[in-house]
Amino acid sequence: MQTLREFTRKTKRGNILKIVREHYLRDDIGCGSELCRECFQNEVYQLTSQHANQSTLFKFPHYLVLDTNVVLDQIDVLEEDVLRNVVVLTTVLNEVKHRSSSIYKRFNEIVHDRTRNFYVFVNEHHKETYADREPDETANDRNDRAIRLATKWYDDHLQASQSSKDFERSGKAAMRVVLLTDDAANRTKAEAEGILVTTAAEYVKSLEDFPLLMDKLSHKTFDNEKNGLPQYPPHLSMKELLEGLRQNKLLQGTFQASRENYLEGSVVVEKFEKAILIQGRESLNRAVDGDLVAVELLPESEWSAPSEIVLEEKNVYADEVPSEEKATDENDMLKQVRAAASSAERTPTGRIVGIVRRKWRQYCGILQPSLIEDTNRHIFVPADRKIPRIRIETRQAAKLQNQRIIVTIDTWPRNSRYPHGHFVRSLGPLGDMATENEVILLEHDVPHCKFSDEVLSFLPKMPWTITDEDYSKRVDLRDLFICSVDPPGCTDIDDALHCRELPNGNLEVGVHIADVSHFIRPGNALDMEAAARGTTVYLVGKRIDMVPELLSSNLCSLVGGVERFAFSCVWEVDNEANVLGKRFHKSVIKSKRAMTYEEAQSIIDDATQQNEIAKSLRHLNRLAKILKKRRMDNGALVLASPEIRFQVDSETHEPLEVEVKQMRETNSMVEEFMLLANITVAEHIATEFSECAVLRRHPRPPPTNFDPLVKSARYQGFQVDIESGLELSHSLDKCVKADNPYFNTMIRILTTRCMMQAVYFISGSLQKEEFFHYGLAAPIYTHFTSPIRRYSDIMVHRLLAASIGADSTYAQLLDRKSNEELCHNLNYRHKMAQYAGRASVALNTHLFFRGKEEDEEGYVLFVRKNALQVLIPKYGLEGTLYLKTDKDGKDGLERVKSETVFTFNEEDHTQRCGDVVFHSFDPVTVRLSLDSSNVQHEKLIFRLVKPYIKGFSVETATKGTELQAVAAAPPSKKSKKDKKKKIILWIYA
């Protein structure tokens, strides 16, 4: 049967188009119930009577039909293995897909779980359930009517199927169909049409066998707040927001909450060089970190400046009602914030008037203990200080105390001080390594779930072998003396090198990169998963792969003695490292040896070794030194950051030792040839694909970024010139002090903090002058050398393969818009991976110092208004030494307050206390210990030992002193036998 669907669409020019589409209806679509003998049934996904839903509301067998809002709002309830025999209408599926891709993906996984008995009924193409849109009917009303029509048909259809005499004689109760909807209007209409209907909350409460399922219900309001006073101004409607943005009365940007001050935040707007400052609860107006918001700019006379005051919110309890007294207290605090900002340079200030798009996610944290016994209402405190506390209802608070839990936000009404949410699941006990790693991954939005069966289905079938056809399409390099050099314990080996002498006296150098793009074909589930993950994430003792382990550690990894596919970049160079020619080709290689940096260095240094591998390494090392000097002469910067090595117990995964990583010539050797390969490939793909090449740029920092560096160096007697990268590089080389060998490293660490973030971009989106990579002093750059752990490199491989005819091109590869979206995701994933790695280092550092107190020598890296930023070279640690104790015991220690006063000088960035003056790079001795008073936010405490300041410094202690009043003891010493179980992990802090 055929019908027509008509609708109108307005064009950009304002014209109205009438669109008519054919819509086919069928009468052979099965209902999916095992009770029905009339319909053709799909036996794989079928509604059964074996797993009946037991409800006190409906004390007879029944199937469920969900409307769209139930799926969108109650997805956490649906994911629990409780509800069975659910009819999923295609109307609902399509609406969910249109409104939330993330929830659609989660719901799709439930639907495809055969044990849950979720049956997709194609109601939009069934002749009895199709609902044509009526005149003046909104799309939403039409969809609600379609859902009711399908529910009514299902109920009638099943009753007809159960009307036989045989069924009546069986004595069984008839199967009915119940509609779950949270839409009051839809529910009223359903009841009028004789449909069994209830809300999701009422139905879940009727499941007496699963009382804890109520914790996962999405809450829009709490009873004690229904008549509460408005706490915030109303948000503008979406129509008003769009009109204000169009007329430039409002500005749109991403809200960033402050970690230090809960009454402050900022909105990043493209038109403004500085972020727009937001101060005060009413101005923040229910925005959550990451939301896309609309801002109204205040008159310039009302502009303020960031206060630099640390302001933490006092504890409140879930059953407290907002009051005028609390509002007055908060206004007083806001006056203090603004007063503290009055002397500073004022910045554009505004107030949030509406939310364009929420970016709520699941949040990790703990329950705040309640003062009221037997209450279901609780306050959830997120681990991320930028997220507000959340009101939830849970009946298992006692069980969840001292547990890390996940909560999601449902809504934030005007009359509620905090957003409303619901409990999702428990992660595990506080302090447990597995639990804390899970928190790090979730808080940094790192995709880390197991690869789905659909993704794994696109992996090569094992055993995998190289065929004759494969050999014929590739250059055979198996006879070359190729080797790899990597950190110890590396299993995802991306790159290998070779160097050999040519008959004409020149040298042939090759960089061979794992050919991941051969195994990951464009557009399939494996490719989309890798693109979504963006990068491999490295934590201490844990790696979250971008691609399944079969590829990352096996088929793609260039392990020694095994034939592997590679993408080779080969140069002919003279003995002065001048490139005379280059070529790219896909190849088959057989690495002769996989080495660590230390092993390769020992081979180079051992003059008795004269085999081909040793000769190759010595050539590569000599050429690398020439290449590095050339880069330095061109203005490339040698920057520094503390790099830490943990020795981890293989059984408990707790850190046993922590020390700074040593750098060898072989580290630089590999780096130089990876840089050369990346630059060579970048030049090639930018020439071949001028509009859609994937490149990487490092913007030049604004001059103001260098102020702390310039002032600190000036005090030490050095002039840092920042006019260009070359002059900066030469200035840094001159910053050397004979009495402090670590001084130049600190200067370079300080310079690193002044840099901008390097980003991926598409060549057609910027002018060529903007391609420049400031840190490398390279006019063009990309990433080609790590496709196992970076999706950007896979994109570059595909472009390079298409340019040399080694692989075919496809539409998306040359689509600038879709590639720009991919680059945006890659930049985000790369940044989050870095933050997650640092958080993992911090976690393991805390574990290492738990129960210990040590005095260590360090240097002042920064001088701040109320603190010194101190670097400990022995451990590569950096921390804050607060110069003043606040009334709340901010440093977490019970210290007697003194009359000690520190004075900050803004001109030369110094702190003075009596005769003692602190400058950047001054040596200090500090006492390190762990403050565990806040179970959610443990932190490493730095206290001054030397120079001694009476009333402020602590007395000298013996190194390694054990603390008596610390909750957790340090890791016990291992026997010699146990020490063999250590795993060494390199962490780039």
Which tens digits make up the pLDDT trace of 725-755? 888 988 888 888 888 778 888 888 888 888 8
Q: What angle do CA 777, 835, 514 make, to 5 degrees?
A: 60
Region 116-132: what's the mean pLDDT? 89
Residue 892 has pLDDT above 60, yes or no: no
pLDDT higher for 8 or 585?
585
Sequence-ordered list of residues with C-beta below 8 angstroms from that of 476, at least 6 positions apart, any chain: 587, 588
Calpha distance 262→259 (Å, rounded): 7
Name the residue with tokens 């006056």. Answer: 335
Lowest mean pLDDT, pick from 169-178, 355-364, 448-457, 932-941: 932-941
Q: Report the pLDDT averaged over residues 378-384.
A: 90
pTM of the model: 0.80
Residue indicated by tokens 């001048």: 578
Fold match between 2-197 and 850-887+901-946?
Answer: no
Query: For the ranges 460-469, 533-542, 552-561, 642-651, which has the lowest average pLDDT?
Result: 642-651
Query: Which range (106-120, 228-242, 965-979) has the least confidence?
Result: 965-979
Q: Please tell me which of 21-25, 414-418, 704-708 the model is most confident about, judged by mean pLDDT.
A: 414-418
Q: What is the pLDDT of residues 259-305, one digit of tens each?
A: 878 889 999 998 787 889 999 889 999 999 999 999 999 998 888 88
Strand residue runs (E) in 412-464: 420-429
Quickly state the pLDDT bin for 699 (edges 50, 70, 90): very high
DSSP string covering 451-464: PPHHHHTTSPPSSP
> What letter does residue 556 receive in the DSSP assignment?
S
- The domains of the chain are located at 2-197, 362-430, 453-695+764-834, 702-754, 850-887+901-946
Mean pLDDT of 29-51: 76
Q: Is it the case that residue 500 has pLDDT exceeding 90? A: yes
Q: What pLDDT does 3 receive?
A: 64
One-character DSSP codes across 641-709: --EEEEEEETTT--EEEEEEPPP-HHHHHHHHHHHHHHHHHHHHHHHH-TTT-EEEEBPPPPGGGGHHH
The mean pLDDT of the chain is: 84
In the predicted structure, residue 971 carries a pLDDT above the cut 80: no
Does 658 have pLDDT greater than 70?
A: no
CATH superfamily of 850-887+901-946: Nucleic acid-binding proteins (2.40.50.140)
Please give the share of the chain, as a percent, with pLDDT higher than 90. Answer: 45
> Predicted confidence band at 596 (pLDDT cuts at 50, 70, 90)?
very high
Give yes or no for a contact between 572 and 521, defined as CB atoms under 8 angstroms apart. Answer: no
pLDDT at residue number 14: 74
Say how far apart CA 673 and CA 449 lie, in whole Å: 35
The top-scoring range by mean pLDDT among 309-313, 757-761, 930-934 is 757-761
Does the pLDDT value for residue 900 go beyond 80? no
Helix (H, G, I), strand (E, B) or coil at 410: strand
Measuring CA to CA, how many Å separate 450 from each of 25, 101, 548? 39, 19, 9
How do residues 666-685 score in pLDDT, each as one tens digit?
A: 999 999 999 999 999 999 99
Q: Does CATH number 2.40.50.700 belong to domain 362-430?
A: yes
User: Cβ distance 763 to 771 under 8 Å?
Assistant: yes
Whole-number pLDDT of residue 645: 61
For residue 988, pLDDT over 60 is answered with no
- In sequence order, the β-bridge partners of residue 569 are 511, 584
Cα gap 830→818, rounded to integer Å: 18
Contacts of 428 (CB under 8 A, 6+ apart): 403, 404, 434, 435, 438
pLDDT of residue 656: 58
Q: Which fold has domain 2-197?
A: Rossmann fold (3.40.50)
pLDDT reading at 631 higher than 60: yes
Percent of the chain with pLDDT over 70: 86
Is pLDDT larger for residue 349 or for residue 221?
Answer: 349
Which residues contact residue 517 at a Cβ distance below 8 angstroms, ignoring those fewer than 6 apart? 567, 787, 794, 797, 798, 801, 807
455 or 903: which leads in pLDDT: 455
Decide if pLDDT at 148 tops 80: yes
CA angle 254-411-312, nearest 5°? Answer: 65
Give the strand pairing for 537-539 and 910-913: unpaired
Q: Cα–Cα distance between 594 and 983 in angstroms, integer?
A: 19
- Residue 184 CB-density burial (10 A; 0-12 exposed, 13-18 middle, 19+ buried): exposed
Residue 612 tokens read as 């081909």
Q: DSSP 3-state assignment of 840? A: helix
Distance CA 170, CA 176 (A): 17
Provide the pLDDT confidence category of residue 801 given band limits of 50, 70 and 90: very high
* Predicted local distance difference test score (pLDDT) of residue 397: 86
- pLDDT value at residue 689: 94
C-alpha span between 60 and 841 (Å, rounded): 56
**Which one-letter amino acid corresponds to residue 208?**
E
pLDDT at 879 over 90: no
**Cross-sheet strand order for the sheet of 579-590:** 475-476, 579-590, 563-573, 507-514, 495-501, 483-486, 593-596
Judged by average pLDDT, the poorest of 423-437, 635-649, 700-714, 913-927 is 635-649
